[in-house]
């Protein structure tokens, strides 16, 4: 180990030994302390998570496969009352109304419901996370006193009516109007055409008695943009729609059939002026509009920003579903045997095959990264909504972080569920093992609470804005030096000088190249450089687009849309890698830290391998170093293999959460029975001779 001299004290000291070096010198295999790792994964709201998991383990909340959608809806609605009775859904509401003002804890507990039944999680989210939260965050004290008690107790089942058939992610362009009439002191709510119907609305088909409806607020001939209104939908006694209100049932869906999604439309429906949720925009009796936020654009994004918890909770729920799937698939892979590759008698367990490890361990690494990133997102969410850090900048950061992480985790969950399904063969396709059911239910997570691709475009625009801000106030000399530096950097990359330098540093040694790639700072540099370069190139290409005519500016942006979205995804992946790395610094046990470091390296190198063509085309990696990526990943798989069960055990989900027949140990019993039978048969001397063995003996005799 290299000795370092501290020049200020002239004393020599040696850097602390790495976990790998410590275990190597001790000659021991590292071990994972499952309890400590599990506590770290539970995070800041561990007590709430454990309470929610205890609830999610109860059969009363479990999804029953095979129900008709009508039966499933009735069961889930009954389960909402069960949640109320068990005080499981009111944490975020004001303490004076029976809540606990615990915003982060509320999300942490809520997202755990996905392991019981995703329909229950989402229907609860509609009732309290969207409908109730809209009243709480967009309304004022009078609204809270009037409606929140009934919403919290489920006396007022409700809807969150934002999306329209013709406008999903583009909320600013919804077409439903709320026009104020000063003569009556009422708003007239109207759906002007079919595409303006509110669509895919949870609780709309059957259960919703009221809704928070988003509409264009018009008063005194001026459209002040999208605002939220509390609207009674049905007669509580008859459950029939009130006059002027109509709707349809969306019917059977690809998943989440415990939720009664439907469509709503309004024909000149009159509602009191006081039903405007007016925290951010008010209309006086005479029709005068006022708002504490002067800018219409900023006001719009502030109102929508108060509802960001939907994206935060989906991020966490997707991570939880990935954990459940991996726990079942990895457990099964340690028991299921197939092909006797290395023995004439014993078959191999699936998890000893390299390809099987590739399929599951890379997704295990990504799940850990997503889990640690979600904990950071949840902390940011709580800081904003508790008021601890609630500036405009904090809210913008929260919005961007949620928009970055929710796409990655929901796509990852779908990919993980599918890969785990396939990795378990035909057994994985059985509904009793839940992969197919969970994947069907989570499919829509990729497009609701913000379509994933649209969310990444929002992130890309924020990255461009931040990039432009860096140079807004610099003088010409600084900018010129930056441009020269960029040009020099491009020359180094594109002429191959960096590749030559890497080759010389590696001296043709695969071992040295691998060491360089597994280094934390090297991974960070590669992942960061890709994001910075992609954003800088897009910003350069779009420079001056704001001064172009609208159609030409839009066309220019459209030509670079794909690169921007890829840059946003690369940024989100970097955030996950950084979150994993931050978590590593909090691990005290050397063995656990070493195994998690291998897992973090697997995540980072898998990202680099996925984008290897970019690194090669842009001169960031030499061909020599690029060739080592796959080989080092394979060595990491071997190192992680002995710890796979511990890593999924640390997720903290028991049999009542997993509920997969293949993860109960039944496969091990079957395999042990089969092996015992074959051993007994061989020992008896009565087992038939394999034809191939007989032919080999005959051939050997002929040669002699």
Taking the CA of residue 537 as centre, how many other CA atoms within 13 Å lie in the half-sphere pointing to its CB? 18
Beta partners for residue 228, in sequence order: 214
Give backbone dihedrals phi and psi of 631, rounded to 5 degrees, phi first: -65, -40
Triad 500, 629, 622: Cα angle to 5°: 10
First to last CA, the chain: 60
**CB–CB of 45/377 below 8 Å?**
no
* Catalytic (active site) residue 449: yes
DSSP structure class, residue 690: P
Triad 536, 541, 545: Cα angle to 5°: 115
- Of 406, 440, 468, nearest to 169 by C-alpha is 406
**CB–CB of 500/585 below 8 Å?**
no
Rg (CA), the chain: 29
For residues 107 and 45, give the distance between their C-alpha atoms in angstroms, rounded to a whole number. Answer: 10
- Of 205, 192, 176, nearest to 76 by C-alpha is 205
Find the catalytic residue in 111, 449, 649, 667.
449
For residues 50 and 28, give the distance between their C-alpha atoms in angstroms, rounded to a whole number. Answer: 34
Exposure of 405 by Cβ count < 10 A (0-12 exposed, 13-18 middle, 19+ buried)? Answer: buried
For residues 486 and 667, give the distance between their C-alpha atoms in angstroms, rounded to a whole number. Answer: 58
For residues 85 and 74, give the distance between their C-alpha atoms in angstroms, rounded to a whole number. Answer: 17
The pairing of strands 4-6 and 11-13 is: antiparallel
Q: C-alpha 200: how far from its chain's center?
A: 21
- Write down the number of H helices and E strands in the chain: 28, 13
Residues in the chain: 704
User: Which positions ≥6 away from 498 have C-beta within 8 Å?
Assistant: 492, 619, 620, 622
- Of 651, 662, 668, nearest to 324 by C-alpha is 651
**CB–CB of 559/3 below 8 Å?**
no
- Of 221, 226, 233, nearest to 260 by C-alpha is 233
**Residues with active-site annotation:** 449
């Amino acid at each position: 180990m290299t000795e370092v001299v501290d020049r200020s004290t002239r004393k020599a000291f040696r850097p602390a030994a790495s976990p790998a070096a410590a275990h190597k010198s001790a000659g021991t295999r590292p071990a994972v302390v499952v309890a400590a790792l599990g506590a770290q994964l539970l995070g800041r709201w561990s007590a709430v998570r454990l309470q929610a998991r205890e609830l999610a383990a109860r059969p009363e909340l479990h999804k029953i496969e095979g129900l008709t959608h009508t039966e499933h809806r009735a069961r889930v609605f009954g389960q909402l009352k069960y949640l109320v009775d068990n005080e499981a859904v009111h944490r975020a509401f004001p303490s004076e109304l029976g809540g606990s003002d615990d915003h982060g804890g509320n999300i942490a507990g809520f997202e755990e419901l996905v392991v019981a039944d995703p329909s229950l999680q989402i229907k609860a989210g509609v009732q309290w996370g969207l409908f109730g939260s809209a009243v709480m965050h967009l309304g004022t004290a009078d609204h809270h006193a009037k409606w929140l008690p009934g919403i919290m107790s489920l006396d007022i089942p409700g809807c969150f009516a934002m999306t329209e058939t013709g406008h999903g992610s583009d909320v600013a362009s919804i077409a439903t109007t709320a026009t104020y009439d000063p003569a009556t002191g009422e708003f007239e709510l109207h759906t002007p055409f079919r595409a303006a119907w509110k669509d895919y609305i949870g609780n709309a088909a059957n259960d919703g008695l009221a809704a928070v409806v988003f509409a264009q607020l018009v008063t005194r001939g001026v459209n002040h943009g999208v605002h939220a209104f509390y609207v009674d939908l049905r007669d509580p006694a008859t459950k029939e729609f009130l006059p002027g209100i109509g709707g349809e049932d969306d019917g059977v869906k690809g998943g989440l059939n415990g939720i009664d999604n439907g469509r709503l439309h309004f024909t000149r429906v009159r509602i009191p002026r006081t039903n405007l949720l007016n925290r951010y925009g008010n209309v006086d009796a005479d029709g005068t509009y006022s708002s504490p936020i002067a800018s219409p654009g900023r006001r719009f994004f502030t109102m929508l920003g108060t509802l960001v918890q939907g994206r935060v909770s989906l991020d966490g729920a997707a991570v939880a579903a990935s954990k459940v799937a991996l726990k079942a698939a990895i457990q099964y892979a340690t028991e299921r045997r197939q092909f006797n590759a290395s023995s004439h008698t014993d078959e191999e367990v699936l998890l000893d095959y390299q390809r099987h490890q590739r399929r599951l361990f890379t997704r295990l690494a990504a799940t850990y990264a997503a889990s640690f990133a979600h904990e950071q997102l949840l902390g940011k969410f709580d800081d904003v909504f508790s008021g601890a850090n609630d500036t405009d900048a904090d809210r913008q950061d929260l919005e961007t972080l949620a928009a970055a992480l929710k796409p990655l985790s929901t796509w990852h969950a779908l990919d993980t569920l599918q890969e785990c399904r396939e990795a378990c063969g035909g057994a994985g396709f059985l509904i009793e093992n839940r992969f197919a059911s969970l994947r069907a239910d989570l499919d829509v997570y990729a497009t609701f609470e913000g379509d994933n691709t649209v969310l990444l475009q929002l992130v890309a625009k924020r990255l461009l804005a931040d990039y432009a801000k860096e140079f807004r106030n610099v003088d010409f000399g600084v900018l010129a030096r930056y441009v020269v530096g960029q040009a020099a950097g491009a020359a180094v990359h594109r002429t191959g000088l960096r590749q030559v330098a890497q080759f010389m540093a590696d001296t043709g040694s695969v071992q040295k190249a691998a060491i360089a790639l597994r280094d934390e700072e090297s991974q960070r540099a590669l992942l960061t450089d890709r994001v910075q370069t992609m954003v800088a190139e897009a910003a350069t290409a779009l420079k001056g687009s704001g001064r172009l005519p609208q159609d030409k500016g839009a066309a220019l942006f459209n030509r670079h849309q794909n690169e921007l979205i890829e840059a946003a995804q690369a940024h989100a992946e970097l955030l996950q890698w950084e979150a994993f790395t931050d978590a590593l610094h909090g691990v005290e046990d050397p063995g656990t830290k070493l195994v998690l470091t291998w897992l973090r390296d697997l995540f980072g190198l898998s990202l680099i391998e996925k984008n290897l063509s970019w690194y090669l085309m842009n001169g960031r990696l030499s061909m020599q170093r690029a060739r080592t990526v796959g080989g080092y990943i394979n060595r990491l798989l071997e190192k992680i293999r002995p710890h796979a069960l511990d890593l999924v055990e640390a997720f903290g989900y028991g049999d009542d959460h997993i509920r997969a027949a293949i993860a109960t140990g039944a496969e091990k019993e079957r395999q042990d029975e089969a092996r015992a039978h074959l051993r007994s048969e061989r020992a008896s001397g009565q087992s038939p001779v394999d034809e191939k063995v007989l032919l080999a003996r005959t051939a050997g005799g002929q040669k002699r």
